[in-house]
Structure 1
Amino acid sequence: MVMRGSGEPEQFGYLLLPSFSLMAFSSAVEPLRAANTIAGKKLYDWTLVSMDGAAVTASNDIDIMPDLSVAIDKRFDYLFVVGGTGAEKIKDPRAINYVRKLSRLGTTIGAVSTAPYLLAHAGLLDNRRCTIHWEYLDGFREDFPHLEITDELYEIDGGIVTCSGGTASIDLLLHMISHSHGHDLATHVSDWFLHKQIREQSEHQRMSLRFRVGVSHPKLLGAIQFMEDNLETPLDREEIAEAVSLSTRQLERLFRKYLNSTPRKYYFGLRMQRARILLRQTSMSVLDVALACGFVSASHFAKCYREFFGHSPRRDRAPES
């Protein structure tokens, strides 16, 4: 990103993919509007783009009318692709060719929420650090094992910017505003939106395990973290207890007291949830998903999956795109 002085406003384009996240999009454009208002002059201008120029429906069923289609030539300083539900299945050659073309012309290409999938299909993330929404991290890593994928809020690597989406888009745009027009303006924009702290890109996306689980017992949290870190090769109850310096009986008591569960049942649930994500978001075979979640055969996995979710793994299979 280049530091600008006074002059023409920076040009932002937003390519909206079908079922894009309205939260991620709004968080990526509203800071620009606020910066213009606070500065008292047009520092930024933006254009909405869709594949065919028709309205695009967001994941919450709100339609947004774009300014132009990808067939119209327009130069941007930055183009952000905004994804959402189902973006992992979008391989539209019009969108892929569009981002490749603008990248060759020197436009900084960004991807918000699940849109890094499109940039990966276009080959723009090769040899770049990138990130994606935490819910898609496992599937993204399975589909693109050669990429350097992080779990940070956003990544800026040369002419490629990726952002996990949601309110992280605000933090990314505040960083960009600060870079182009100074920290004071970025701080005023942050204050404008009651955004009390501009988060650094290195901050992790998800809230701490303590708040996600709703318990604060350190050894129980340690056991759960140990489980989350070992889904592909499940550990037995004794190994988990030993890792957090508990007896198996103490471990059982903690899970019953705080989670109304057992270590085995809780661990099994974590593996099942990961399996569902991989089935829905990747093209991995059922057998590969089974192995990635600690099962030794597809038949045993299918039986367990049906008992847990009430239907077969193939019902959650991501359709071919």
Structure 2
Amino acid sequence: MKPKTARIEVDAPKAPRRFVFVLLENFTLLSFAAAVECLRIANRMAGHELYSWVLTGDAEDVVTSSAGVRFHLDFPLGELTRDDVVLLCGGMNVQATATKRMLNWLRREARRGLRMGGLCTASYVLAKAGLLDGKRATIHWENHDAFLEEFEEVDLTKSVFVVDGNRVSTAGGTSSIDLMLSLIADDYGEKLANAVADQQIYSAIRTDQDTQRLSVPTRIGVRHPKLSQVIQMMEANIEDPISPSILARDVGMSTRQLERLFRRYLSRSPKRYYMELRLQKARNLLMQTDMTVINVALACGFASPSHFSKCYRAHYDTTPYRERGAHTSRLSV
């Protein structure tokens, strides 16, 4: 039998703060569940109903998560109260969820001063509605490149979560916990937020200064400072690739030494590794944006569509046009 948990003393509100979760079709279950659990546990630890929550969305009654779990909505999109906090829950194919009805509803509610946020990929929908213009925001790292291409007015970061005025956003996954702990701490103090984290056995609480992806050494499984530095330079210069000789010079080694370093640790040449990074970004843009193949090629450092297509086919065994066509067909099924 689980022992009784000691309560955290807080000043109970006259009425609980309501969170309105807007479930977008194919939303990520983890991001949504992590956020709701923080609110539930906060209520339990305080012994008061500090928070309440409801579900809505651009559907008649049911929204399905990317895991196939279905949720019944409490009510359709409608007018909210000014104290509500709106959190959009995004996931796969988020572009399709930015419907005219959804965007108009978001703009209308935003004009009334509501606090709004996007979990996982839902920042895309907020940006599409123009509600992140001039704001700092974040989004899941897989959608980062596409977001940058489409929304130049947004100051996109790679943070785990971002709070900028009355706009909040997370990178997805467990970053919902970090955001909600931050909001709970603002409302009722660090002691309650830490108690909520302990209940979830969440020991590594992150701040908005933490980045969402693993460090380069962790990702590639190699802890070589100069190799990590070169890869960071490559990742930061996709549109205008830097030659191996300049990369080598900038980290204080010869081109031959750089070649040996890549061969030893990554079993490929610097040129090959760089090409794979560029093609990976190109594939993300093809899948997540409406950019023409020519513009995708230019954004990834290819001088011509023909060269881009040739390199893409060699790596992915299909052309950019066929890749996009197949992706579109899968989404329409």
Tell me the TM-score normalized by structure 2. 0.91
SS at match of 1:29: helix
Write the letter of the residue equivalent to 1:171: D
Aligned match of 2:314? 307
Per-residue deviation at 1:73? 3.7
Distance in 2 of aligned mates of 1:116 and 1:83: 8
Distance in 2 of aligned mates of 1:14 and 1:164: 16
Distance in 2 of aligned mates of 1:53 and 1:31: 28
Write the letter of the residue equivalent to 1:117: Y
> Runs of at least 4 residues of structure 1 off by over 2 A?
3-6, 72-76, 88-91, 315-321
Distance in 2 of aligned mates of 1:285 and 1:15: 31
SS at match of 1:68: coil
Distance in 2 of aligned mates of 1:214 and 1:40: 45
Aligned match of 1:241? 248
Aligned match of 2:265? 258
Distance in 2 of aligned mates of 1:222 and 1:126: 32
Aligned match of 1:88? 95
Deviations 1:76-96 (A, max 9, x none): 520101100111333212211
Q: Residues 155 and 201 of structure 1 are in contact (CA less than 8 Å); yes or no, is this contact kept in structure 2?
A: yes
Per-residue deviation at 1:253? 1.4
Distance in 2 of aligned mates of 1:21 and 1:96: 20
SS at match of 1:7: coil
Is the counterpart of residue 115 in structure 1 residue 122 in structure 2?
yes
Distance in 2 of aligned mates of 1:4 and 1:16: 31
Aligned match of 1:295? 302
Per-residue deviation at 1:101? 2.2
CA 1:30/1:53 → structure 2, altered by over 3 Å: closer, same or farther? farther
Deviations 1:136-184 (A, max 9, x none): 1111010111222111122222221111121111000001001111110
Alignment RMSD (CA, Å) = 1.8
Distance in 2 of aligned mates of 1:57 and 1:67: 14
Distance in 1 of aligned mates of 2:194 and 2:165: 25
Per-residue deviation at 1:207? 1.1
Write the letter of the residue equivalent to 2:178: D
Per-residue deviation at 1:250? 1.5
**% of aligned pairs identical?**
43
Is the counterpart of residue 197 in structure 1 residue 204 in structure 2?
yes
Q: Residues 297 and 305 of structure 2 are in contact (CA less than 8 Å); yes or no, is this contact kept in structure 1?
A: yes
Q: Residues 12 and 50 of structure 2 are in contact (CA less than 8 Å); yes or no, is this contact kept in structure 1?
A: no
Aligned match of 1:170? 177
CA 1:194/1:87 → structure 2, altered by over 3 Å: closer, same or farther? same
Tell me the TM-score normalized by structure 1. 0.94
Distance in 1 of aligned mates of 2:303 and 2:30: 40
Write the letter of the residue equivalent to 1:225: Q
Is the counterpart of residue 146 in structure 1 residue 148 in structure 2?
no
Write the letter of the residue equivalent to 1:65: H
SS at match of 1:135: helix
SS at match of 1:69: coil
Q: Unaligned 5+ residue runs, structure 2?
A: 1-9
Distance in 1 of aligned mates of 2:52 and 2:110: 19
Distance in 1 of aligned mates of 2:201 and 2:102: 35
Aligned match of 1:33? 40
Q: Which of 160, 165, 177 in structure 1 is aligned with 2:167?
A: 160
Indicate the larger mover: 24-33 or 91-100: 91-100
Is the counterpart of residue 228 in structure 1 residue 240 in structure 2?
no
Distance in 1 of aligned mates of 2:191 and 2:163: 21
Per-residue deviation at 1:4? 8.1
SS at match of 2:91: coil
CA 1:240/1:313 → structure 2, altered by over 3 Å: closer, same or farther? same
Distance in 2 of aligned mates of 1:315 and 1:29: 40
Per-residue deviation at 1:97? 1.9
Write the letter of the residue equivalent to 1:12: F
Q: Unaligned 5+ residue runs, structure 1?
A: none
Distance in 1 of aligned mates of 2:30 and 2:251: 39
Deviations 1:193-227 (A, max 9, x none): 11113211121111111101110011111221121
Is the counterpart of residue 136 in structure 1 residue 143 in structure 2?
yes
Deviations 1:257-285 (A, max 9, x none): 11111111111111110110111111211
